[in-house]
Structure 1
Amino acid sequence: MKDYDIRDISLAPSGHRKIEWVKNNMPLLSALEEEFRKDKPFDGMKISLSVHLEAKTAYLCLVLAEGGAQMSVTGSNSLSTQDDVAAALADRGLKVFAYHGATDEEYMRHIEMCLEHRPNIIIDDGGDLVGMLHEKRPDLMSEVLGGCEETTTGVIRLKAMEREGVLRFPMVAVNDAKCKHLFDNRYGTGQSVWDSIMRNTNLIVASKTVVVVGYGWCGRGIAMRAAALGAQVIVTEIDPVKAMEAKMDGHDVMTMDKAAPLGDIFVTATGCKHTITVDHMMKMKNRAILANAGHFNVEIDMAGLEEAALSKIETRSNIMGYALPGGRTVNVIGEGKLVNIAAADGHPAEIMDLSFAVQAMSALYIKDNHGTLGNRVVDVSDEIDDVIARKRLEAWGIEIDSLTEEQREYLDSWKV
């Protein structure tokens, strides 16, 4: 097997510059890199990784490689792969199988090529590595100790596998760590989604009505940033508690049927399919803008839209306009794929520093504890969250208080 399947190795210098930029803004990974260089905790181990293949992910790969890991790398979304970054990793001697704009068939071939590395540890984003191992290539599973899952969608898939009794090794739910979802999902998604929408449309957000589909941590971040930019925000939800939260946060709450005619911009963030249907789109304003912030391109019914559209035209780079019966057009950014990474640069470096520090430390946790974990979805320990949070505060130059012994005894006692 070739050591890489990428677009063009000559693009590597540009990728190296991107990686160096994010490295200078990722103090947690930089500190782990120093530790790993000395201790070599992954010496002799093989790691297969499928995460959005851009500069922050590339730096995580290099940090793990400094720890002794033999890395095999692919992307978790064909539109998020940056060819110069893939080339830079290949130039550094990593096995890389990804290029921008790969077809679905090519994408799955890259997933399989990445797994032919016969990994000991899996680092996944969305569950495609784990899915491939269980569904099509169980022969490549014999050396897997366990792995880590980056995102909400992947954790949902893993928990379904655990419930059905088919999961064959432990997987750490990195997404559920406090230092991941409270920051990555909320602040990272909130900023990067609007970065993508604004740079691709070149339109103002203030004065517009924004419909946010789903009010989990990603939806909260998207709604918060939309409101801060001057938009009126409508939230649609199926969970009554989250709907109540959205209302108390100052947003309007209603069904999608009622929101469809009102919105100027629609952003999905649920992890579910067909949260915006063709029936909804037929009710929307002319030239409404649709974007998806969920992992897979199923939240907007793109197949139904393709079938219903009378014609389509690229109205702007990364934006496809679909002409619908009745004279209206809807504009979809990034093919309905993950908008902040398929049509922009993804989360800010400082945010991914937190998430990828959790990934690196969770991979260590799997290496050291896999034999005692069982074939299940494993929570990130409070200890890992605490270590990462304290290191981030230290990098900011922030000190916080500690409990006195008297206070600790008070909190541990039932007596006043």
Structure 2
Amino acid sequence: MVKHHVKDLNLAPQGKKRIEWADNDMPVLRKIRERFEKDQPLAGMRMSACLHVTAETANLARTLKAGGADLVLVASNPLSTQDDVAASLVKDYDISVFAIRGEDHKTYYEHIRTAIEHNPQITMDDGADLVSTLHAEYPDKLKNVKGSMEETTTGIIRLRAMHRDGALKIPVFAVNDAETKYLFDNRYGTGQSTVDGIIRATDFLVAGKKVVVAGYGWCGKGFAMRMKGMGANVIVTEVHPIRALEAAMDGFWVMPMSEAAKIGDLFVTITGDIHVIRKEHFERMKDGAIVANSGHFNVEINIDDLEALAKEKHENVRNNVDEYVLQDGRRIFLLAQGRLINLAAAEGHPASVMDMSFATQALTTEYALKNDLPVAVHDVPAEIENWISLAKLETMGIQIDELTEEQKQYLSSWEMGT
């Protein structure tokens, strides 16, 4: 059996059922897996992936292995691992996994170092913890890495900062910035799964409540849209004037967090930044306010501030809910320890939307191996996105028009005016 560190291999039967169920809704990735199995484009390549270990990710791992990759998979968040899926990947699919739900900080980074010690030629990341650790602690291994794929907004922010500072030493692809990813995964995936996680954790009735959405990027847009559709009065807080304007014209209230804190029933951070909700906001919140995060890292809510303000803390008053009692008796409920609510309290994005994201990951990996790329943060090639989009439409039974030769000529010319 491959090397591994998972909770319990006896969980594998249930994990296999989840993997197979997700695979039913991932036809584009399945099509790629069939070609990879035949063509072996990743033959002999050592790969290390730091991703959320879910049923959907399992099908990406199966695709990479089918293509010939020698893969090690570790978790990109301590609370996002589905232990039965991790067990099944090891036992049923012979893929090396190091991930346990609830693993502590030390174990989390031990697993990441195990992935790096695999001496990867290709890496995948969701938040850039693997790549940043590789650069900081294993600079001698960088020369072997042909490329890396980054899955999330937070990771892209970190990688662009590394490149700007001259610290980045390998080519990386901003998979998150691909339209086949952020327009669908971020908007529809995060939007729906964030709602799912909050309701599972709290049994919260959305209709009539004031829901504060911190951040109006694609994830924030998706979540705000769904809250509005379920009857909430949605308030958006932003620091970007264009996004604030867009939120206002989409019909949402827009105000500073200092004002929203006074009236919100539910607060959700989806920004990718640090301490979006902090002491001065907690001090203004009303009794019973619920606070959750759907950004990648657990830094968007300043939990230290909340701890300092509280005279009492009651853990797990409900699964994934901690109660903080402030000095004046007001209660604030923190969900999932401030970690990704959609994965900590639910199952993450639906498989159908991850079909496109992970198809983009798989094909971009193949592209990275076939091309010698300069050190930079690269965009996913348009031909990959177009192929995935057309393939997805085909699986949905949707046909679209094609440009005529006359139309192509018109779009490429300048002579014809009014």
Same fold (TM over 0.5): yes
Matched with 1:332 is: 334
Aligned-partner SS, 2:262: coil
The whole-number CA distance in structure 2 between the counterparts of 1:196 and 1:94 is 28
Matched with 1:6 is: 6
The whole-number CA distance in structure 2 between the counterparts of 1:316 and 1:286 is 17
The whole-number CA distance in structure 2 between the counterparts of 1:114 and 1:90 is 15
Where structure 1 has 5 or more consecutive residues not aligned to the other structure, the ranges are none
Would you say the 8 A contact 1:118–1:141 is kept in 2?
Answer: no
Matched with 1:98 is: 99
Matched with 2:247 is: 246
AA matched with 2:169? R
The whole-number CA distance in structure 1 between the counterparts of 2:138 and 2:90 is 25
Matches within 5 A, 1:152-231: 152-231=153-232
* 2:251 aligned with 1:237: no
Aligned-partner SS, 2:143: coil
The whole-number CA distance in structure 2 between the counterparts of 1:333 and 1:244 is 29
Aligned-partner SS, 1:5: coil
Q: CA deviation at 1:345?
A: 0.2
Aligned-partner SS, 1:168: coil
AA matched with 2:262? P
Structure 1 stretch displaced more, 173-182 or 88-97: 88-97
Matches within 5 A, 1:114-133: 114-133=115-134
Q: CA deviation at 1:116?
A: 1.0
Matches within 5 A, 1:371-382: 371=372, 373-382=373-382
Aligned-partner SS, 1:122: strand
Matched with 1:393 is: 393
AA matched with 2:38? K
Deviations 1:224-263 (A, max 9, x none): 0000000000000001110000000000000000000110
* 2:358 aligned with 1:356: yes
Matched with 1:321 is: 323
TM-score w.r.t. the length of structure 2 is: 0.98
Would you say the 8 A contact 2:90–2:96 is kept in 1?
Answer: yes
* 2:269 aligned with 1:268: yes
AA matched with 1:171? V
Aligned-partner SS, 1:4: coil
Q: CA deviation at 1:94?
A: 1.4
Q: CA deviation at 1:139?
A: 3.0
Q: CA deviation at 1:307?
A: 2.5
The whole-number CA distance in structure 2 between the counterparts of 1:394 and 1:374 is 35
Matches within 5 A, 1:280-359: 280-313=281-314, 314-359=316-361
Percent identity between matched residues is 51
Would you say the 8 A contact 2:3–2:96 is kept in 1?
Answer: yes
Aligned-partner SS, 2:48: strand
Would you say the 8 A contact 2:142–2:170 is kept in 1?
Answer: no
Matched with 1:51 is: 51
Q: CA deviation at 1:143?
A: 1.6
The whole-number CA distance in structure 2 between the counterparts of 1:20 and 1:27 is 12
Matches within 5 A, 1:63-102: 63-91=63-91, 92-102=93-103
Where structure 2 has 5 or more consecutive residues not aligned to the other structure, the ranges are none
The whole-number CA distance in structure 1 between the counterparts of 2:345 and 2:75 is 15
The whole-number CA distance in structure 1 between the counterparts of 2:128 and 2:310 is 31
Matched with 2:383 is: 383
Would you say the 8 A contact 1:96–1:114 is kept in 2?
Answer: no
Aligned-partner SS, 1:260: helix
AA matched with 2:63? V
Matches within 5 A, 1:396-411: 396-411=396-411
The whole-number CA distance in structure 2 between the counterparts of 1:311 and 1:89 is 41
Would you say the 8 A contact 2:19–2:59 is kept in 1?
Answer: yes
Q: CA deviation at 1:199?
A: 1.4
The whole-number CA distance in structure 1 between the counterparts of 2:352 and 2:107 is 32
CA RMSD of aligned residues (A): 1.1
